[in-house]
Structure 1
Amino acid sequence: MIRNGVIVPQVSCIDPYDGSMYPPGSEWNTDHCMKCNCLGGEMECCSRYNGVVGAPEGCEAVVNPETCQYEMYRIDNPSEPCI
């Protein structure tokens, strides 16, 4: 890579979530529902779920770490989904 007329070696990125190393130009999904890119040694990540979700009264929105989607559960019984 050339920056300001100087050849700069491309540097790998280290995933702060699991310590994995990725080469420049890589794109990956983390176990924490993040989508990351390695751009010449600089890493950018954003969430794979859509921001904040409103939950019905008596329910709580929780991100499922396997699907990276919000699920609604009852506040008084977190094992019971809200319908």
Structure 2
Amino acid sequence: MSIKKMSITEFVKNYEQQTIEMFEIEAIEDYKFRGDPKIFIEDCGILKHAARVHTRRIYTRSQREILQGTTKRVNNVETEGSLTKYTIL
């Protein structure tokens, strides 16, 4: 592996470019997320914490993992129009 030497100015320009690209990727993911059906889970402390400390992408993954782990414990299902409410034990 070779290491390219660069001046501090080159480093800062490269860093800024990478930061812009990361923000663009995150913006695209946020846009895609808005089009997906929303899942609302009441009173879930783990997901409330995840929403505060993680990006939307990581929060979505956390939510999916929690739902996959609890789908075998569905106690009740209620449907009103386009809204479906699952009560999970």
**TM-score, normalised on structure 2?**
0.27
**Which one has a bigger Cα radius of gyration?**
2
Instruction: Give the structure with the larger strand fraction.
Output: 1
**TM-score, normalised on structure 1?**
0.28
